[in-house]
Amino acid sequence: MTVQQLPTLRVRLVDAAVSLTVEHGWSHVTMARLAEAVGVSRQTVYNEVGGKPALAEAMVQRELERFLTLVSAAFDAHPADLVAGVRDAARAVLENAERNPLLRAVASATHGADTEFLPLLTTHAESLLVTAKAVVVDRVAAYPTTLDARRLDAAVDVVVRVVLSHVMQPSAAPGRTADDIAWIAGRVLTA
């Protein structure tokens, strides 16, 4: 018989912060409410995650890691077909974003009154973009292309930015958008 590993305090705090954000909005997340939700003192929350900006960064980082796991799995499923890898990666990210309650809460907040979380996303957008691009460049570099490193970086930058744009403001169903993104990527990456 194995003992299932319990989530760390940090994981529990981030989970609780996500729940509070989804249910009440980011502006209603306080360290006191978070402490109450997890059953620890407010000082323990500060010791574990720092202040509210650090908590937001931990929440965003966790979601990014989830998305990048989907991206890697999509490329792994298509080791010989770059365009199929891009298509499945984009579809997985867009479908997950559509079902992700935190992203829905953040996206709806950008159209409502609770916009306190948005500046935190934009403040860290560069590091998120750099991380996402690095993973995708690494994955795409495993495929034969005619692009030098500079052009490959530029092409991946555009693809990642387009996917992220559709995460925040979708214009079509995930499958259709992924097909369109893959078509564009195929034209650029396999030219």
What pLDDT, on a 0 to 100 scale, did the predictor assign at position 113? 44
Q: Angle, to 10 degrees, between the axis of helix 125-140 and the axis of helix 82-99?
A: 150
Q: Say how far apart CA 119 and CA 108 lie, in whole Å.
A: 14
Token output for 154: 């530029």
Instruction: Give whole-number Cα distances, 191 to 59, 100, 147, in Å.
Output: 38, 35, 8
Summarised one tens digit per residue, pLDDT across range 126-158 is: 777 888 999 999 999 999 988 999 999 999 999
pLDDT band at 111 (very low <50, low <70, confident <90, very high): very low
- Residue 6's contacts (CB-CB under 8 Å, 6 or more residues apart) are none
